[in-house]
Amino acid sequence: MSGQAAEKPKFPTETGCPDGFQYMHPAYIKNYGNWKYHDRPRPGVLHHVSHNGDEVWTVRVGTQRQLGPYEINLLCDIIDTYADGYVRFTIRSNLEVSVTDEAKVAPLIQAFTDAGYPVGGTGNSITMISHTQGWLHCDIPGTDASGVVKSLMDELHDEFTNEQMPNRVHITTSCCQINCGGQGDIAINVQHTKPPKINHDLVANVCERPSVVARCPVAAIRPAIVNGKPSLEVDEKKCICCGACFPPCPPMQINDPEHSKLAIWVGGKHSNARSKPMFHKLVAAGIPNNPPRWTEAADIVKNILRVYKDDAQDWERVGDWIDRIGWPRFFELTELPFTKFHIDNWTGARNSLNASTHIRF
Amino acid sequence: MAEQTPKNPDKHSTYLPTKKTSSKPFHDTPMLDELESGPWPSFVTGLKRLAYDNNMMVDLLGQLEHSYKTRLGYWKGGTVSVFGYGGGIIPRFSEVAEMFPESKEFHTLRVQPPAGNHYTTDMLRQLSNSWNKYGSGLIAFHGQTGNIMFIGTTTEHTQHFFDEINEYGWDLGGAGPCVRTAMSCVGAARCEQSCANEQKIHRLLVNNFIDDMHRPALPYKFKFKVSGCPNDCMNSIQRSDFAVIGTWRDDMKVDQAEVQKYVAEKGRKYIVDSVINKCPTKALSLNDDDTLAVDNRNCVRCMHCLNVMTKALSPGDDKGITLLLGGKRTLKIGDTMGTVIIPFMKLETDEDYEKLQEIAEETIDFWAENALEHERVGETIDRIGLVNFLEGIEIDVDPNMINAPRVSNYVRMDNWDEEANKWKQRKAAN
């Protein structure tokens, strides 16, 4: 290592986003922009046909998202042996492995299954949960998304490998209220319930106080002198416990082993299909953040899924379904309590109030 | 959830090495151990495999178990970058390094994947080998912004790893207040619904702002996402500042013989319930001979019927894109979705692509100039109003930008005639 200090630093080559065609399956390149239709011969397999008659079969495989050299080599060995050496990842960390020979599909599926990797996640299934990083790497996490996801996917394994839901189900989890996991048919997100605990000895040295004040969505933070030191104070009556002050000011600890809870939101949807895109809405909160298996949250999610599966029409996403049956019926069917916290009071809240006599009895 | 013995135990997601080459003894991890059972591949087993020959991962597992026990995180940020760049690395220093010293530095490098996340197995192995040499070996495919996340290395090794992969064509993504790594769907490469060249749009947009990605100096993050059709598999309306979505403006294509086959196979009730009645603008009707009548003027390209009847229905030929600006999640003002800024534009000629690039440049320039610190472009639009924003980026108003005209009469309109004339002139010019 001693020689390296003397080495001239190397300027980066700013290549940016690399050209995807160099890594793309040859059948994708040949038929780029020329696909005609697709169908799904079985759960976990997509079959695409191009205008010139070319066909590809794509096997979709669930992963744990964080992969080491063992997993990468194991999966690549399968792809080299049973497929064509090309792979892509979906937005939800599933592998997609394409072959141009239908006869290769069954052995490929068998090889992934034998290696402990589930084939599925297509069509009207519950696909892999999109999630954030949590305690493994994040600087502000209230929980460990990877653990929540592993626990839930263990229980939803059969729904991943089959296509038995009314429409696709996208679940997300997030370890803080910034919600990096994103919108979902069902979202399991951290919800803090107490204001930050401030270490006044550290604020002046660690935090740029005006930017912390500016981050607060409800103007509850103001500069103050505490114990003779410049610090910040929080108007706890105003504070909505969102945690926005914690990233720019770590001495304002928002995470709490007891009071950082989980909340569940439903009905989010990104697609424009049928209805316009929708945000997810709060349905349950106050759920204990209970590692390692988060069983209380998992039970509520499984119950919502059960009711949706029984009651929704074909092709209704969770949000479409609730639009049809109405929120009172949703709370009735899921037996979840409806509380004052479900009634929005943020900007635009009036749009969420019922200004009509449209009421189902 | 009965677990079966794997057929090839040494080539299975549950495999653990028999020999330990890391010198540090394992910490007890009773809570994490519980996440090794069950049918889904276990990330904990993956971390343990790494710990068999890597002391950093031994302590990382110890710290993670400590988090599970105390229900708190123990990483803090800092400043780490590679030579010549100001961002792209997420520095992590442990707050419990005295208990877990080997993982006291555990930084992540964000690396931009190709549009559509395509890899050869050779390239995956090469990236994995480089990372195994300089880092923990652990890679997340992919983070929520779309980066390949190389998780866990020391400050010194961030530079060595980056130098090595930069040599064979990989570059860092964004972190901090800058243009971020973009995302694209599989698109034209393997999807019949694609109405755009996602590969070209993605690289054109993001590589044009490479300086704004590597040297964070914008008010806050700025994300591009590209979806080939309105199914928006990249979640671009809700998760990006600049959402490019493929669409078409002529009639959708209908293969009536395939429609009839579909009706024969599924039955009329299914077609009426699942296709006709699910059309949001009532633009579909089933004819007496089991063919489909489409009111194309009222079709909003929602994709539902095309998704259900993939063989019978396809997008039209006159393809282009819709552009929406301003999507983001909660912080600070609450969630915003993107707003239509360009209802339709062709992307065929070089000039078309240049125009898209210019809109992106105008948008980022105006936003950089006018935004408050830590304000996403959607929040700027919210604060100053869409009309002021449009004037700033020199885009004309269009009724496709709104759900409905204003309800409130609290507005001053004394130059109405002038504004009405602008509309008439634009109409006459088209």
- What is the rounded CA–CA span in Å between residue A36 and residue A34? 7
Set of chain B residues whose Cβ sits within 8 Å of the Cβ of A89: 113, 117, 119, 141-142
Partner A contacted by B122 (CB < 8 A): yes
Q: Are residues B354 and B334 in the same domain?
A: yes
Tell me the per-residue pLDDT of B53-93, one tens digit each, with 9 for 90 and over.
Answer: 999 999 999 999 999 999 999 999 999 999 999 999 999 99
Identify the CATH number of the domain in which residue B367 sits. 3.30.413.10
Distance set, CA A270 to CA A170, A273, B140, B310 (Å) = 10, 9, 23, 20
| Residue B272, domain extent | 253-314
Q: Average per-residue pLDDT in chain B?
A: 96
The confidence score (pLDDT) of residue B194 equals 98
Q: Give the contacts of A51 (CB within 8 A, at least 6 positions apart).
A: A31, A34, A35, A36
Partner B contacted by A25 (CB < 8 A): yes
Q: Are residues B208 and B161 in the same domain?
A: no
Q: Are residues B330 and B237 in the same domain?
A: yes
Tell me the per-residue pLDDT of B248-261, one tens digit each, with 9 for 90 and over.
Answer: 999 999 999 999 99
Tell me the per-residue pLDDT of A187-232, one tens digit each, with 9 for 90 and over.
Answer: 999 999 999 999 999 999 999 999 999 999 999 999 999 999 999 9
A263, pLDDT greater than 70:
yes
Q: Average per-residue pLDDT in chain A?
A: 96
Q: What is the CA radius of gyration of chain B?
A: 26
**Residues with pLDDT less than 70, chain B:** 1-4
Tell me the per-residue pLDDT of A100-114, one tens digit each, with 9 for 90 and over.
Answer: 999 999 999 999 999
Identify the CATH number of the domain in which residue B290 sits. 3.30.70.20
The conformation of residue B420, written as its DSSP 8-state character, comes to: H
Q: Across residues A325-354, what is the average pLDDT?
A: 97
A4, pLDDT greater than 70:
no
Categorize the per-residue pLDDT at A6 as very low, low, confident or very high, splitting at 50, 70 and 90. low
Residue B178 belongs to some domain of the structure:
no
Partner B contacted by A341 (CB < 8 A): no
Contact between B235 and A182 under an 8 Å Cβ cutoff? The reply is yes
The conformation of residue B273, written as its DSSP 8-state character, comes to: I
Q: Give the contacts of A29 (CB within 8 A, at least 6 positions apart).
A: A21, B189
Identify the CATH number of the domain in which residue B82 sits. 3.30.70.2500
Tell me the per-residue pLDDT of A27-51, one tens digit each, with 9 for 90 and over.
Answer: 999 999 999 999 999 999 999 999 9
Categorize the per-residue pLDDT at A5 as very low, low, confident or very high, splitting at 50, 70 and 90. low
Q: Across residues A10-19, what is the average pLDDT?
A: 95
Residue B360 belongs to some domain of the structure:
yes
Mutation site for A-interface testing, chosen from B67, B141, B172 by largest number of A Cβ within 10 Å: B141
Q: Are residues B90 and B161 in the same domain?
A: yes
- Interchain contact, A154 vs B186, CB within 8 Å: no
A3, pLDDT greater than 50:
no
The confidence score (pLDDT) of residue A7 equals 66
What are φ and ψ of residue A9, in 5° steps? -60, 145
The confidence score (pLDDT) of residue B273 equals 97
Residues 325-354 on B with a CB inside 8 Å of A are 329-335, 337
Q: Are residues B240 and B268 in the same domain?
A: no
Partner A contacted by B239 (CB < 8 A): yes
Q: Are residues B264 and B126 in the same domain?
A: no
- Interchain contact, A12 vs B166, CB within 8 Å: yes
Q: Are residues B261 and B229 in the same domain?
A: no
Q: Across residues A66-88, what is the average pLDDT?
A: 98
Residue B285 belongs to some domain of the structure:
yes
Residue B65 belongs to some domain of the structure:
yes
Q: Which of B314, B343, B362 is the last residue of a domain?
A: B314
Q: Give the contacts of A351 (CB within 8 A, at least 6 positions apart).
A: none
Tell me the per-residue pLDDT of A146-161, one tens digit each, with 9 for 90 and over.
Answer: 999 999 999 999 999 9
The confidence score (pLDDT) of residue B430 equals 80
Contact between B143 and A91 under an 8 Å Cβ cutoff? The reply is no
Q: Are residues B206 and B347 in the same domain?
A: yes
Chain B residue with the nearest C-alpha to that of A13: B166
The number of domains in chain B is: 4
The confidence score (pLDDT) of residue B327 equals 96
Residue B176 belongs to some domain of the structure:
no
Q: Are residues B156 and B223 in the same domain?
A: no
- Interchain contact, B124 vs A179, CB within 8 Å: no
What domains appear along chain A, each with residue ranges and CATH number? 20-114 (3.30.70.3340), 134-193+257-343 (3.30.413.10), 197-253 (3.30.70.20)
Set of chain B residues whose Cβ sits within 8 Å of the Cβ of A54: none
- Two structure tokens written together for A206: 């660690």
DSSP letters for A111-147: HHHHTT--B---SSSB-PPEE--GGGT-SS-SS-HHH
A262, pLDDT greater than 90:
yes
Q: Give the contacts of B109 (CB within 8 A, at least 6 positions apart).
A: B88, B89, B90, B135, B149, B150, B153, B158, B161, B162, B172
The confidence score (pLDDT) of residue B5 equals 83
